[in-house]
Amino acid sequence: MKTSSPGKILLGFVFVFGFCLNGNAQFFKKLAKKAEKAAERTVERRVEKETSEKTDQALDSILEPGSGGNKQGPNQPQPTGGDPNAQGGQSGNGQTTAPLGSSGPKTIQVYSKFDYVPGDKQLFFDDFSNDFIGDFPSKWNTNAGGEVVTLGESPQKWLGLKSGYNIYYIPNAPQLPEEYTIEFDIAAVGLDRNTSSTAQLQIMLSNDEKFAEGSNYAYAEIPFCQYAAIGVTVQNRINNRREIRSTVKADFRDEILDNPHISIAVNKLRFRLWVNEVKYIDVPQLVPSGSVLNTLKFHINNFKDGKEGVFISNLKIAEGGVDLRRKLIAEGKISTNGILFDTGSANIKPESMGIIRQIFQVLQQDATINLKIVGHTDSDGSDTNNMDLSKKRAESVKNALVSVYGVNGNRLTVDGKGESEPLADNSTPDGKAQNRRVEFIKQ
């Protein structure tokens, strides 16, 4: 048997050791490159984050004058609910509890391209402020029961919906015209990863005035499932025959936990739907032609009674079809209650940017136009406070036009009328909602 000489052994050891050193060197070079790239990505993310924060701070100073861009923490309830037109001390405080989640406030930066514009003639409004807790609301009808409630410590009132086959909730609104808008807020409790994939809120336009689907209808279904992105489903029926059924890919599981605002625009056959600032549905011929879909209905499917709950509030229906830009140019004056403010303050709600954007487009098109912006409130609160508040709100609208869209401030003047020029009866929620408005007058 042969044995290796010490020299050979030493040579083999040196070879292996050298190979290991070379391999380690290559390994450390690769590791160093990865670390360098990771550092670069970290710097990039930090720069991007700081830039975004600076932009948000500047825009938040428009949304919330005097706030310095400070935001609520991510775990605090956000002011996404409440009366969408709240002014002058309206009973809703513009805030609802976020029962399961809170994604933080949106800014004007997000909403500056929001293209939803509410109808200019209000047909129906209900925030349940005149209803007693525990009662079914006086301006609604149903075949199943339900009650007005509050959620958490907020005084905002909500209508709780019952889940079940062919259960409908119908507001006692006037017959729907050809062109109109619908807005409301949603709150949900008890949702988790076990919530059914078929748990949905159906918003239906029907030719049946009672508790059936009808021979002609169009509807959209908003999902509440939390373990998967289900999407928004739309369907119609024309003379008892289904023409359209489709599901649009969408994921707003976080939004559905944070009291989202729903906006719908119906322009003859066309049906569009937004969740907060994002448009998810735009179907040009969803609404049946030649059939009067005069009834709005709400229906929920497949929720666990006693565990999961769906609530709606601040329902507003307004007749639309009038382009505010054309009206302002032609008539020299428009009045809108679609510019929304937090209760008792001049903070513009971001979803108001659809109208403010149209005003900007008029000013952009004709550089000779100057505008006077006039604020109005309802009668809640003192005359003095309402007068001051209406002026501050007009000033906030001016600031948005100047800061977001770059309008020359010299082209805009402001004034406030408080509660001195009501359009409707201030003793009802509907009348108050009509009185809370902003006017634009050509100078």
Examine the pLDDT at 16 and tell me if it is beyond 60. Answer: no
Domain definitions of the chain by residue range: 114-319, 324-442
233-242 pLDDT, tens digit each: 999 999 999 9
135-168 pLDDT, tens digit each: 999 999 999 989 999 999 899 999 999 998 899 9
Q: What is the mean pLDDT of residues 173-186?
A: 92
- Sequence-ordered list of residues with C-beta below 8 angstroms from that of 388, at least 6 positions apart, any chain: 416, 418
Comparing 17-26, 223-232, 244-253, 319-328, the range with the smallest average pLDDT is 17-26
CATH of 114-319, one of 2.60.120.560, 1.10.10.10, 3.60.10.10, 1.10.3720.10: 2.60.120.560
55-86 pLDDT, tens digit each: 344 344 444 444 433 333 323 333 333 333 34
Q: What is the mean pLDDT of residues 295-311?
A: 93
- How confident is residue 98, by pLDDT bands cut at 50, 70 and 90? very low
- How confident is residue 7, by pLDDT bands cut at 50, 70 and 90? low
- How confident is residue 131, by pLDDT bands cut at 50, 70 and 90? very high
CATH of 324-442, one of 3.50.30.10, 3.30.1330.60, 3.40.50.12780, 2.60.40.60: 3.30.1330.60
